[in-house]
Amino acid sequence: MKKIAFVTGATSGIGEAIARILASDFALIICGRREERLKKLAAELRDQTDVYILTFDVSNSTEVNSAFDSLPSNWKNIQLLVNNAGNAHGRAPIHKGDLSDWDAMIDSNLKGLLYVTRAISPGMVEKKTGDIINIGSIAGKEVYPDGNVYCASKFGVDAATNGMRLDLNPYGIRVVGIHPGLVETEFSMVRFKGDEDKSESVYKGITPLYASDIAETVKFVVDRPPHVTIADITIFPTAQASSTIVNRQS
């Protein structure tokens, strides 16, 4: 079997694109909550590589650990972990925030990333090799209006990534943070709870990044020689200069 990559949030968008681009070089464990989508993706990729499906919610530590424990022994030697799962839920000033939205973002974006890393990283430490790539956001570098808790969760991802790099440095494990700006995926539809007009307005007047752009960045990072770590990347569409400065064409 090829080296094994474990990709969370693989049912759509960036995670799906990452799974597709890694299939040429890795056997894949693709994870998510929508089993039918995982099955469809696995069927498409099995002509290139071995694929194993895990269906669980990253925000539930019991489900994370049970899913990992359920892997056959020959699938547990994971060389690459891509922590991609996460979501944005709503936008509101702090005094009007929805507590369930807050919980969902912190639980999936930050705690979920930590739960999965805690399950998989001991195997990398034991073998003194491995790559961990955390998909963050420009929201983890710059705060913007009405993004308070989402930004806090992504700042947490950035801090956790930097802390992981320190902790895992003695074991030869590369830890990378990739922080995209505007990427056109299901992200905005989830954030705005199915409001198509609000979702489309996020990308209006620009050519945004696409999921494939982030997947290609992951592939580039993974393909660096073992002595090279691309520790931290912020990637924007050309029309974007910061979390709030976007050159929109009418």
Active site residue ranges: 150
- Residues 6 or more apart whose CB falls under 8 angstroms from that of 23 comprise 45, 48, 49, 51
State the sign of the Cα–Cα–Cα–Cα dihedral 61, 54, 88, 196.
Answer: negative
**What are 217's strand-pairing partners?**
none
3-class secondary structure, 203: coil
Between CA 73 and CA 169 the distance in angstroms is: 26
Which long-range contacts (C-beta less than 8 Å, at least 24 apart) are formed by 126-130? 127/77, 128/171, 128/172, 128/173, 129/79, 129/171, 129/172, 129/173, 130/78, 130/79, 130/80, 130/81, 130/173, 130/174
Tokens standing for residue 194: 């199915």
Q: Distance (Å, rounded) from C-alpha 14 to C-alpha 56? A: 18
